[in-house]
Amino acid sequence: MDGRDWGTFLLPYEQAVEELKVKFKTMRAELKKREEYAPIEFVTGRVKKISSILEKSRRLNVALDDVETGIEDIAGIRIMCQFVDDIRRVAEYIRARKDLTVLIEKDYITNFKESGYRSFHMIIEYPVQTALGQKKVLAEIQIRTLAMNFWATIEHSLSYKYRESLPDDMRARLKKTAEAAFVLDNEMSAIRLQILEAQKAFEDDSNIVSRTLSIIQQLYFYHLVHEAIEAQKRFNDCWERHDMEGLKVLLDDVKQLLNNARKGENPDEQL
């Protein structure tokens, strides 16, 4: 092993992972606001452990001086999606970005691996601004569905435990579970519209609840104490009866009350 200072060597990779995680989480939040649906469910990232870099460099026959170019996943990001179609959309968004360059794409969804592994990979070049200037690092972005992730996580643990000696029957059973995950993804895609509608209805309902409660609070600031107490009673009543239609009417009523209270004070602040 060489005498390199691994802590310093890994610094730009750590920075790249932190920045990319923030960027993809922000992309999720932005798309959710703009389009009400984000193709990204959640994002994780990690810097490869030194032991894993050493093991991979030996396996791939990469000299330690060449790990920066010879090992593409020292910085790794993983983006989880609900549906297979979302993966293509996320890949499109990544290709369009100006803050990174996509070098290689590996489509293990169309061409899944012998193990049963499915995911879409992108190897990117990402410029990190360090105290010593700009440094471009390679990073791997794995994009997969929740089902693909579930399978790969379990399979990774088993492969790590058994290494080359994973018993044949276990290997065969894992392949079968990969097929089950594939069927699950297809089934979910088939009822995608219904799932999205249900998720939207849930979000709409929770927005109505939070907006109503927030406006009731604001009524107190305008000394509409009696109205606020009445509205709270109506809220409790609707909530007990799971009456979303009643809550929508209540929201309109409290908005009206607040608008009236604000009238004259600041006409721009009408709800």
- Tell me if 176 contacts ligand GTP by CB under 6 A: no
Answer positive or negative: Cα dihedral of 239, 243, 248, 252. Answer: negative
d(CA 117, CA 175): 9
d(CA 78, CA 70): 20
Per-residue contact string for residues 116-145; x = within reach of ligand ATP by CB under 6 A: ------------------------x-x---
Q: How far is the CB of 132 from ligand GTP (least distance, A)?
A: 28
- Tell me if 86 contacts ligand GTP by CB under 6 A: no
Residue in 19, 140, 155, 227 annotated catalytic: 140
- Tell me if 106 contacts ligand GTP by CB under 6 A: yes
Q: Can 92 be counted among the known catalytic residues?
A: no
- Tell me if 156 contacts ligand ATP by CB under 6 A: yes
Answer positive or negative: Cα dihedral of 109, 114, 117, 120. Answer: negative
User: 39, 84 in Cβ contact below 8 A?
Assistant: no
Q: How far is the CB of 39 from ligand ATP (least distance, A)?
A: 17
Q: How far is the CB of 140 from ligand GTP (least distance, A)?
A: 6
Output 52 or 189, the one with its CB closest to ligand ATP: 52
Per-residue contact string for residues 152-171; x = within reach of ligand GTP by CB under 6 A: x--xx---------------
d(CA 149, CA 143): 9
d(CA 266, CA 165): 73
Q: Which of 10, 19, 20, 78 is in the footprint of ligand ATP by CB under 6 A?
A: 78
Mind spelling out the 3-state secondary structure of 96-131? HCCCCEEEEEEECCCCCCCCCCCCEEEEEEEEEEEC
d(CA 82, CA 61): 37
Question: Please, which of residues 2-21 interact with ligand GTP by CB under 6 A?
Answer: none
Q: Which residues bind ligand GTP (CB under 6 A)?
A: 73, 106, 113, 115, 117, 121, 152, 155-156
Hey, which residues are catalytic here? 140
